[in-house]
Every structure is written in C-alpha cells, then in structure tokens.
Structure 1
C-alpha cells in the first residue's frame, strides 16, 4: 500500500500504525494489573459478605453492589473520555477502584457493614474501567481489525485475572500476617493492582488515542476538501451511525453478562457447601476468568473474519451448554464444575467481543466514547441484577435452577440476531 502524500494525508498511514501499536502496548500493560484487581470481587466477595452478614441470600450482594458501582463508573468514564480523552477517563476509573478496594479491607477489619457496602460500590469503578479499556485499542485501529484490537486489549487481562484467584491462599496468609481477615487478601492485591493500572495509563497513554483519532480524521477531511476530493481512510471516517447496530450490540452484551454473572457469583458458595477448599474455589474461578479473556486471541480475528453475528450466536449456544452442565454436575465434582465455568467464560468472551465490534462499527468518533459508556452502564446494571437475584434464586430453589435459567436466558440472543439480519431501511 503506497502512503498517501502529505498534501492529502497529513498524518500518514505508517504514523497511524505506530500510534496504534503504542496505544495497544500501554493498554496491555495496564490491563495486566487491572485483571488482578478485577478478580478479587469475583473470587471472595460473596464469601466475605457471608462472613460479615451471615446467610446465603446475601452472597450475591457484593457482585450486585460493585457491578452497580461499575454502572455509574462506566457512565462517568465514557463522558470524561469523550470530553478529555481516554487517558484521563481510564486512569481516573482505575484509581477510584483502588480506593474502593482499600476501603473494603478497612470495612472488614472494623466489621462496619455500611462502609463495606459503600466500598463495594466504589470498587466497581475498577471493574467498569477494566472493560472500558478495551475500546481504547480500537480508536486508531483499521476498520477491518477492530475485533482483533478488542481481543488484544482483553487477552492481556488474563494474566492478572487468572493469577489473582490462584493467589487466594497466599494472599490470605499475607492478610493474616498483617492482622486483617484472610478473605481481604485479594482486595489488598486489588488496591495495589488498580492503582498501578491507573498510573500506567496516566503517565504513558500519550498521545491520547481518541483525541488523536479525532485530530487525524479532521486533518484528513480538511486536506481532502482542499484537494477537491473525499477522505481516504475508512478506519478514521465517522461510521454510518446505526441505531440497530448499537441496540443489538448492547443486547448481546447485556444477555451474556446477566447469564455469566448470575452463575459465576454463586459458584463459590455452591462449592463451599460441598466442602471444596478455598484453594479449589480460587482454582475454578481462575479457570473461569482465564476463559473469559484468554480466548480473545482467537475470538477477535474470528469476529473480524467470519462476522459479528455468527460469533454472537456461538455465544448463546456456549452459554446454554455451560448452564446445562453446571445444573447437572454433582456438587462434589470439581472437574465438571470447572468445565461448566470454562464454558461460561468462553460464551461471555464470544458475546462481549462480537457486541463490542458491533458498537464500534455503528458509532462515530464524535459520539463513540459517550455511547460506549452508556452501553456499559446497561451491561453493569444487568450484571448487578444478575448478581443480586442469583442468591435469591438459590435461596428459594437451588444452584441447578439458577444455572439452567442462566443458560436458557442466553437463547434470547436468537430473536435479536434475527432482527439485526433483516434488511436495514435505507438512510435518506
């Protein structure tokens, strides 16, 4: 491909690629730390709530609270990013999450339930930011590589997210050595990890990818107009806004989030009821979180090559298989429970990357970050609902009922995808 002349392409394709690679490198480093912070609430949040409050029905409350907090954070990070760039929006979100994790530890030490609940809400800022960071990789990406860009940002989360749950026992020992409850150990890690993720972005995410993408698009548009032609880079031109693409992308991610969060939240409690050790719980959740992020190396290219819709359909089938297996697996069978949780993470991965690519395709640079933040609010709220209801369902019925219901819920993807495949109305 011959680079465009400076008269029509002030920045140049090679410079764009260099900035794209630099952005991905910084995002990858931050996501390694962010993944470690994310894992704390997933692994021991419900167990810590049980210790502080008592009763199985509250086990889903931490997931609901930090997911609800992530809804507010998603909205705020999206708005700040739209106005001031990804660097300030993402760095601020991670630093807020670090503060929340630190106060969870303090609340557990003081056995202060109001502080515990507020801290869980604040901790959700890190969860939202961890997901919002996936968009930063797409700002300078070519249109045909957006799924791959999302996958690179996501897969880097794997390292910290898998390490965190598998460090539950040593982190518990560290917590006891520091004179705090053992279950707060992962939150000690989260406070440090989220803080480091925020600092990496604040210091190194320069130039800001979203602001740079806007500048490149504006400069190329002006140069093209001056030359009497049209802009040449489809990757940076505003996409033809599609409300249908945004609606279906959001639906895919919401349904996969509810299904995944509901089953995942109650799995540690289910395992403890069947006398699995805390180390076993950490191992299974580590496999689950790994399946959420590690397959991104393959999922992203598949989303780009075979399409958003087929991968979204694969998400629904995989989540259904996960729910059925989790419902049928004996409570004392760690291999079958682990297999179900791996399928659960894989189905979520398919849905998130396919849905994210649809959202990016359907938005323009002028509104992209704000729209992405609004969609992630819906994802967070749906996750909060799934987390809160999961404990109630298990308390009123059983884990098998919850798992089967979560799997069946994913089938609602089918009508959404059928609607999306219908011919789009002409745009006047």
Structure 2
C-alpha cells in the first residue's frame, strides 16, 4: 500500500485495496469509539473555531489600535498564521508520543493563553503582548487543522474523505459566528471594566478553555493511540522518526509529495487573491457591506461543500478531485481577470477560489494520510500543516507588493501558473493508476 519510491499508484487510489488492509476498523468496539471520538472532535472544533473567529475581525482592529501603524498591524495580523506554522510540527510530535487528546488540548490551551495576552494588550497597548498573543493564538489554528486528521485515525478507508471533510465543515459554524464577537464583546467589556476590544477575547478565552477541557477529559480511549496499537498487532512496527527522516520519507513517496505540493499550492493561491480582494474592490468603489458579503461568499465556497468534496474523494479518488480543484482555480482566476472591478464577477471568482481551495485541501489531506507509512503519518500531517501555514503567511506578506507591481490581474495569472502544472501532474498520476489496475 505505501509506495516508498517513484511508483505512480498513490496509496488509497483503490478503495477495495485500501479497505482490505484495515479489517480491525470494522470491529464493533472500534466503530463505536470512532463515532464517539468524531462527536467530541466536532464539538471541540465548533467551540474552538468560535473562539478563534475573533482573530480576523477584532484582532485586526486591535492590531491597528495598539500599533498605530499599518505596517506593524500587518505583522501582527500575520503572527497568528506564523504561530500555526511554528506549532504544527510540535503538536504533531506531541500527538505521536502522547496521543491526539494531549496534543489537541494543548493546542486549545495555548490559544487560550494567547487570548489572555491579547486581553492584556488591550489594557496596556503593548505591542509585544499583541504579537505574542497572536502567535499563541495560532495554536488554535494548528489544533483545528490537526482535528481533521484525528477524525480519520479510526475511520474506515471507505469513509475517510467524508469523515475528514465533516470536521472541516463543522468548523465553519464557529468561523462564521466568531468574527461577529465584536458587539457581544463590547457588552462583556463594559461589565468587566475592560477596554471595548477586550471583551471579544474574553469570550474567546472561555470557548477555547472549554474546547481544551472537553478533549482532555473525554477523548478516551485516544483514537491515535488505539490505531497505533492495532498497527503493532498487524505486524507493522511503529518507530519514532526525526523530522529529517519524516521529510525524507514523505518526499520519497510520489503521491505524498504531490499531496504536499497540492495543499501548499491551494493555500498560496487562495490567500494571495483573497487578501487583496477587499483592496481591489475598494479601489473600484465597492462599499464595506459588499466587500463583507463577498468575503462571506468566499468562506461559503471554502467550507459549505466540503462534505460533498470528501464524499467525491471517497467515490472517485482524491487525485481526480484534485484535478477538478485545479480547473476550478483556473476558472476563478479567469473570472478575476475579466471582472474589471465588477462586483458580480468578483463574487463568482471568490466563491470559485474557496471551492478550489476545498477541492485541493480536503483530497490532498486524504491522499497524504493514505500514502505515508504509519510510523511517519502523524508527523507528516503536522509537516503539511506547518508548510501550508508558512506559505500562507508568506503569501499574505508579499501579496500587497505584488498587487502594487502587477495588479489584481497579475495575481490571478500567478494562480493559473500554479494550477496548470498541478493539473498536468494529477492527470499523469491518474493515468498511471488506471494502467496499474
């Protein structure tokens, strides 16, 4: 099943082949444990993402208020993404050693500590607390990302895509509600005698602590440790690997390497265009209300159809869904290039951009998990999350200068230049699978 060479057939490309290697996942005890774990992960995801939702809305206002500088405010806004990138691998290594329960709760608690720092930043106008709090807040993003992989630890191969995408989709509930913490936060701030922006982070603090406690107390038996135990019973030795060994193994497996590049490419294209869309629309006279609706449509494209994307990945294979995702990215870029500031075309472009991201990230995550050996799977997942967040932070930083240099059409063209090679490579892999079977 695991290809350690340049062989073309990706692990998991054949559902029948995949399912025949994991009979223990059909045991009633495992099925019951998977169902219970999935419910806990979903509830934790909703609570945690609700708390994390304060970052892109109230966090932006806080950054501008504390720093008084657009440049420094931009650095503060990027810090949360950098924090997620820096903590992706450590949390994955913690999961390898102590299980998902310890790693996920640690992520939520670190984010809660970040919320405390941000509350203090509102009181003191301290830039160091602001940036440090945003970095720690990124641990929540890392926990959200790891939760999607945790959902597949005990999942049947036939259901991995749907299970992973369900956790992604449920996080949308918090992500949509979280950015609206400003008004309730103001009420909380008045009652606690805090500055107006602090209240949103007080609410976030409570949500993040509850999410951490929920996972720490109730996620037992641990799904990852249970899966590892069965891997041992199946005669597959689980060895601890260094980061260098993990990356070497991941990079030597063509499907895994491809999955890594797909997830990074999806994040690069999405963040680059999404970050500069409000600026582009503002330049063409769009109101803040229309800009907000456009971003909401984009978020809808990212998450609303993710269960369908996961189902399709299970039915036709992740590689073919990745192919579809690249075509959607190209369509989004074309719509952006011809929009000329037209609000309707911009909304269509941003919806397709979100859907293309979903059709890259969900099947890419599934393909990675199916392709790598058990002894590097969790660490590889953390490495992919670190890479996608690292490149997202880079994309957010350079999108402004690139926008000034080549305009919105130039940024859109760059997304096409990312999508076309990935589409060609996906077609090549898919043909190799067809020939192999």
8 Å contact kept, 1:151–1:353: yes
Question: CA–CA distance in 2 between the matches of 1:328 and 1:105?
Answer: 44
Could you give the per-residue CA deviations for residues 278-322 of structure 1, whole angstroms, max 9, x where no partner exists? x65554434333332221221111001111111111212222333
- Match of residue 81 from structure 2: 67
Does the residue aligned with 1:164 lie in a helix, a strand or coil? Answer: helix
Deviation at 1:361, TM superposition (A): 0.7
- Match of residue 398 from structure 2: 389
- Determine if the alignment matches structure 1 residue 376 to structure 2 residue 385: yes
- Determine if the alignment matches structure 1 residue 303 to structure 2 residue 313: yes
Could you give the per-residue CA deviations for residues 331-366 of structure 1, whole angstroms, max 9, x where no partner exists? 583x54443332222111111111011111112332
Aligned-residue CA RMSD (Å): 3.1
8 Å contact kept, 2:320–2:430: no
- Match of residue 199 from structure 1: 213
Deviation at 1:39, TM superposition (A): 2.9
8 Å contact kept, 1:291–1:346: yes
- Give the gaps of 5 or more residues in structure 2: 1-22, 237-249
Q: How does 1:40-189 map to 2 (within 5 A)?
A: 40-46=54-60, 48-53=62-67, 60-165=74-179, 167=180, 170-171=183-184, 173-174=186-187, 177=190, 186-189=200-203
Deviation at 1:103, TM superposition (A): 1.9
Q: 2:357 aligns with which of 345, 348, 352?
A: 348
Q: Residue 291 and residue 174 in structure 1: after superposition, are their counterparts in 2 closer, same or farther (change >3 A)?
A: farther
Q: TM-score, normalised by structure 1?
A: 0.82
| Segment of structure 1 superposing worse, 19-28 or 185-194 | 185-194
- Give the gaps of 5 or more residues in structure 1: 1-8, 223-239
8 Å contact kept, 1:82–1:370: yes
Question: CA–CA distance in 2 between the matches of 1:400 and 1:51?
Answer: 32
Question: CA–CA distance in 2 between the matches of 1:338 and 1:164?
Answer: 22
Q: TM-score, normalised by structure 2?
A: 0.80
- Determine if the alignment matches structure 1 residue 254 to structure 2 residue 264: yes
- Match of residue 230 from structure 2: 216
Question: CA–CA distance in 2 between the matches of 1:187 and 1:91?
Answer: 19
Could you give the per-residue CA deviations for residues 83-141 of structure 1, whole angstroms, max 9, x where no partner exists? 11011011101111122133234324432223222222111111111011101111111
- Match of residue 367 from structure 1: 376
> May I ask how many residue pairs the two structures share in their alignment?
396
- Match of residue 15 from structure 1: 29
